[in-house]
Structure 1
Amino acid sequence: MSSPVTGNQANAPSQPANRPVKRLARLTAAALLSLSTAALATPDTINILTGGTSGVYYPIGNELAQLYNQRIAGSTSVVHATKASVENLNLLQIARGQLAFALGDAVADAWQGKQEAGFRAPRDRLRAIAAIYPNYIQLVATRQSGITTLDGLKGKRISVGAPRSGTELNAREILQAAGLSYEDMGKVVFKPYAESLELIKRGQLDAILQSAGLGMAAIRELTEAMPITFVPIPAEVVEKIGNSAYQPRLIPGGTYAGQSRNVPTAAIANILVSQIKVPDDVAYQMTKAIFDNLDNLAEAHPAANAIKLRTALEGLPIPLHPGAERFYKEVGMLR
């Protein structure tokens, strides 16, 4: 993982300078979600940590909440929009959630406690529920910008996602593998999906990089609003990252309006993550409800079509929750 960036940045993440600031950061992190006192005090509440409302985590999280409310007796599920992977994993560590969406590389970084990725210490209370659909790195530029390659980003204005989000960590890795850095850009903006979308539509950005499931709402809306170019990320760049979590993939032609050709890019598995304070029976029921209702999840977002029981255990960088393990043994995937 590359080191924290400097240079031509807007709204860049700041670094704690002293102990009082560090303490404030910890207190702020613990309060990042608007969880009510009642919700935190109720052991039967399943708080589901997702991402931005215009991404893919959020609609699938809402469908999961409905399923859990119907199928897990005595529980209430609540969905929370967050800054996604890094924030979600930090919140799970302090038991401010019971289930969260996160990118596989961020989960590995959390388990190892990589500070440059946003984890002050190993997040050892995390436990896996399932590997789900892959995220695709989707780099789009306005047609007017003339950007058609990664090298064409030099001197341009780009949004790389919310600070320390899974998307932003992916952006660092992609650019570094391509021999680029944030300093090579004309301007780097750290904004989530919805805000990035508005900036590029107003002509204040040349490109946005998003890590999400195929067919994400923000990019779909952008392709319908203005002429854009999907910038390829060649397989050789993906291989230079040197992390098996990143795999060369194609965005199939026709995924978005005006995108007739396949676009080479990188894909990273998403993982549903829980934590050790979640009771085994609850984790078992959460896992079972996912795979008993895949059609419902696919109706919430097309990306969920890629969730398969046969791949649920692939590439998990952290231990399974005992409740999830019970489910996989029950269906014959584990002995």
Structure 2
Amino acid sequence: MINILRSSIYALAITSILSLGSTVAFSKDRILRADTGSPGGSAHTATVVLGKVLGSKLGFTLQVNDKQTLTRSALKLGRGQLDWFPFPTTVYFLMTKGKGPYKKEPMKTKALELSKNLRSIWGWSANIFHFVTFKTDEIKTFQDLKGKSIYTGPPSGAAAVISESIIKAVTGFKPNVDYKAVRLPWGGGLQAMLDGKLDVFARPCALGCAILDQLGMKSKYRLLDVGQESKLKKWSKHPARVIDKIPAGSYKAQVNNDKNLVGAGTTFLIALNKTNISNDLAYKMTKATWDNLDEIHKSAKTLATIKKETPFTGVNMPLHMGAVKYYREVGIKIPKRLLPPEAK
């Protein structure tokens, strides 16, 4: 069972109805809490599908707050206000290094301390950054972005940092110097694009995501091509970043869908609060994922990049002890860097 809340109000009931403003008593391992991004994004799809599949197998209900900025949700997870959610690899890097939205004190110290409460169970290549323009004749390459108005992501979010870093890697252009970087919540950015207030809309999502179809209902569009992979070589050395491709024919409304495009991608991992999620439940969540991978893939084609052969793709966070137990049982070698302090 999964309940998606489209506001900050907790309104969940399994055997009782909770009135507005009442305190929710969470039964350990039975009612789990997660944040996620906007519908159509990789985090949202993964949260919903995993909540349904794992919840049905393991007997827990997942309460989801969507349309959230995950850099803030990461702090909530560290504080134990959430139990688990699909977590951008980049966000853990920013937390532990005191960068991005965590660069100023006292947030820098707080984020580092809260990061110690986080554990992972597996990861995957989740997103490709799609740079979309309706101005198909005027904007044909990344070089044409100079002087343009570009939606890069939500305020204080990792997505904006990454999309701006991609533009810089490919062109050398700096935000609000060579182009106008527009930061809005996900929904606001999409609406601004549909209303014609932007030249380019940058959106990380899995290949084939519904957001591109939604944009295509408005107008034909062009996806910008990085071109040479070498432009992203230095950029891709970051543990959360990968060079990827958007295959020809991926989107019907794309005017340049006759060839493969080089793109920039990012990874996610499944993060848990190490105290809220017991070793037993973490073990069962890990096992249930790999035992039911076909069902997960059938539930959403955008999750096809979750692969048992590469369970540590994008994982830069120590594993939960429950996951450690599972991988040791099935003979999957765990990189030393992913062993938590409690396993050493």
Give the TM-score normalised by the residue count of structure 1.
0.82
Worse-superposed segment, 315-324 or 290-299: 290-299
Number of the residue aligned with 1:255:
250
Task: Show the counterpart of 1:322.
Answer: 321
**What does 1:92-241 align with in structure 2 at a 5 Å threshold?**
92-114=77-99, 116=101, 120-121=108-109, 122=112, 123-144=115-136, 146-177=138-169, 178-184=171-177, 186-234=179-227, 235-241=229-235
Partner of 1:29: none
Cα deviations across residues 152-191 of structure 1 (Å, max 9, x unaligned)? Answer: 1111111111112231121132133231111135533212
Contact 1:84–1:101, Cα closer than 8 Å, also in 2: no
Please name the residue that 2:31 is paired with. Answer: 45
1:39/1:72 Cα in 2 relative to 1: closer, same or farther (>3 Å)? farther
* Distance (whole Å) between structure 1 residues aligned to residue 258 and residue 187 of structure 2: 25
- Say which of 231, 238, 246 aligns to 1:243: 238
Matched residue type, 1:249? D
In the alignment, structure 1 segments of 5+ residues that lack a partner are 1-31
User: Deviations 1:77-124 (Å, cap 9, x if unpaired)?
Assistant: 212214343123222111121111122222222233335456623121
* Count, aligned residues: 303
Equivalent position of 1:302 in the other structure: 301
Matched residue, 2:288: 289
- Conserved 8 A contact 1:101-1:272: yes
Residue identity in the other structure for 1:47: R
Paired with 2:299 and 2:125, the residues of 1 have a C-alpha distance of: 13
Match of 1:130, SS?
Answer: strand
Relative to structure 1, the CA distance from residue 42 to residue 322 in structure 2 (aligned partners, 3 Å threshold; closer, same or farther) is same
Contact 1:247 1:267 in 2 (8 A): yes
Aligned residue for 1:90? 75
Deviations 1:243-272 (A, max 9, x none): 243222111111111323211111222111
The runs of 5 or more residues in structure 2 that have no matched partner are 1-6, 12-21, 335-344
Contact 2:39-2:45 at 8 Å conserved across structures: yes
Q: Which moved more, 1:77-86 or 1:252-261?
A: 77-86
- RMSD over equivalenced CA pairs, Å: 2.3
CA positional deviation for 1:150: 1.7
What's the secondary structure of 1:143's corresponding residue?
A: coil
Q: More displaced, 154-163 or 101-110?
A: 101-110
Structure 2 Cα separation of the partners of residues 206 and 117 of structure 1: 30
Distance 1:291 1:205 in 2: 42
Match of 2:42 in 1: 56
Deviation at 1:319, TM superposition (A): 0.7
Residue 51 of structure 2 aligns with which residue? 65
Distance 2:318 2:324 in 1: 9
Q: Distance in 1 between matches of 2:191 and 2:181?
A: 15
CA distance in 1, matches of 2:135, 2:218: 12
Give identity over the alignment, percent.
Answer: 23
For 1:248, the aligned partner's letter is I
* Residue 273 to residue 40, structure 1, CA distance change in 2 (3 Å): farther
C-alpha separation in 2, matches of 1:170 and 1:310: 27
